[in-house]
Amino acid sequence: MADGVDCIGAGGGDSRLAGPAHACGDVDAGRCGVGAGGVPSGASTGSREAVELRDGDAARYGGQGVLRAVEHVNGEIAEALTGRGFTDLAELDAVLVDLDGTATKSRLGANAVVGVSIAAARAFAQAAGTPLWRYLTPVGVAPRLPVPHFNVLNGGVHAPNRLDFQEFMIAPVGAPSLAEAVRAGAEVYAALRARLAGLALATGLGDEGGFAPDIDAPEDVLGVIVAAIGDAGYRAGRDGVAIALDPAASEFHRDGAYHVAGQALSTDDMITRYEEIVARFPVWSIEDGLAESDWDGWSRLTARLGGRVQLVGDDLLVTNPTIVTDAVARRAATAALIKVNQVGTVSETLQTMGICRRAGWGQMVSHRSGETADTFIADLAVGSGCGQLKTGAPARGERVAKYNRLIEIEATDALPYGLR
């Protein structure tokens, strides 16, 4: 319960400051609690995502400034919230949704709305005297520490190399605890650096902290990662360190074909390629294996591979409750990627996660390639009990901050670790 809310917005930058800058929200829930929220930004965005409002003034940040979004926080949003009491976050978020009035938050800007919603969640948790993750736990759900998915090798639009697949993640599914999972992630990451250096490949980093060597075939990358898992002394597989992929296929789908390492593949050829990959390598999850427009392909992919690996929709589903409901009916995936800024408010995010849970779907909470030091998603992953979080490599402060937050939660509360 907040007796009166006050709200301030300010501009700030994300991890790609040379490009985008962002609005952050600050909510002061009267004498009850104070919260701030940082706003992330994607590069391989889904076309149906909530809309980021950018100034388009070429003289500032190459048109990516957010003065208008900040103005909306300090103007219309502050006016609608200030001095009003709210029983919970859902009520406050509903005011934000109504005030914006569009399906995609395009009037006020999802980058204005989401910072306020995250800040409000913190303020409500503080007012309730409870850790943020516990405030976010739905009734009847058991919180747990998620399996961290470390994106150790970057391609696609996150790196200037020839690699078409965007993300190669290591997931210590078999680790006994979160702390041991983070240790495994860091040790495999170090072993991978040594392997790449030994092959005279570049060890510079992509946007999410993974290495960005100039390798083009995904199978070659997988071979090096499996070797690095062994070098670090771990077993490659679900009883040790498994692999998760995010090819982000919308980005290499052009003219009706998937363009991978110089080949043009049909949807069915692409699915066959994944079948071969899953047969050869310990891949447990594939996100955006097909393009966001290829709905029939997704249903065929799920029929052919859904029994063996998790199939996660990101660009396909954009954390949107209506789209996820439709995808469940069409059996078009088996899990959803969860990004708060794709839908715009924390309450709508929790609604989408509830739909997944009731459908028996997986949920993987996710950062964006442009990030701030905000650690909200770590608490969301724990509180929702979903068992999976991807937030980059064990490198770069904005990524490590989330893993450190998980370690902090584990140190203070004895919660179970692992996949749901």
Structure tokens at 195: 């392997």
Work out whether 251 is an interface residue with ligand PGA (CB under 6 A): no
Annotated active-site residue 339? The verdict is yes
Nearer to Zn ion, 314 or 371 (CB): 314
- Token pair in block for residue 11: 């501009």
**Contacts to Zn ion by CB under 5 A:** 246, 288, 314
Nearer of residues 8 and 205 to ligand PGA, judged by Cβ: 205
- Collapsed DSSP state (helix, strand, coil) of residue 148: strand
Nearer to ligand PGA, 246 or 379 (CB): 246
Contact residue for ligand PGA among 267, 369, 372, 384 (CB under 6 A): 369
- Taking the complex as a whole, how short is the minimal distance between the CB of residue 2 and ligand PGA, in angstroms? 31
DSSP type of residue 211: B
Q: In whole angstroms, how far apart are CA 9 and each of 59, 114, 138, 295, 401?
A: 22, 11, 28, 39, 23
Q: For Zn ion, which residue has the nearest CB?
A: 314
Among the candidate windows 43-51, 86-94, 139-147, 345-353, which touches ligand PGA by CB under 6 A? 43-51
The one of Zn ion, ligand PGA, none whose footprint includes residue 49, by CB under 5 to 8 A per kind, is none
Of Zn ion, ligand PGA, none, which one does residue 343 interact with (CB within 5 to 8 Å by kind)? none
Site for ligand PGA, residues 252 to 271, rule: CB under 6 A: none
- Choose, by CB under 6 A, the member of 248, 271, 382, 395 that binds ligand PGA: 248
Contacts of 391 (CB under 8 A, 6+ apart): 148, 149, 366, 367, 371, 377, 378, 399, 402, 403
What is the per-residue DSSP string for 8-39?
EEEEEE-TTTTS-EEEEEEEEETTTEEEEE--
Whether 162 contacts 215, CB under 8 Å: yes
**How many beta carbons lie within 10 A of that of residue 307, not counting itself?**
8
Least Cα distance to 318 among 107, 44, 94, 89 occurs for 44
Closer Cβ to ligand PGA, 26 or 314, answer by number = 314
Active site residue 402: no
Q: How many residues bind ligand PGA (CB under 6 A)?
A: 10
For ligand PGA, the closer CB: 45 or 161: 45
Q: Cα–Cα distances in Å, from 409 out to 35, 137, 361, 369, 412? A: 18, 14, 25, 24, 5
137 touches ligand PGA (CB under 6 A): no
Answer yes or no whether residue 363 interacts with ligand PGA by CB under 6 A.
Answer: no
Name residue 150's beta-bridge partners. Answer: 170
Residues making contact with ligand PGA (CB under 6 A): 42-45, 246, 248, 314, 366, 368-369
> Active-site positions?
208, 339
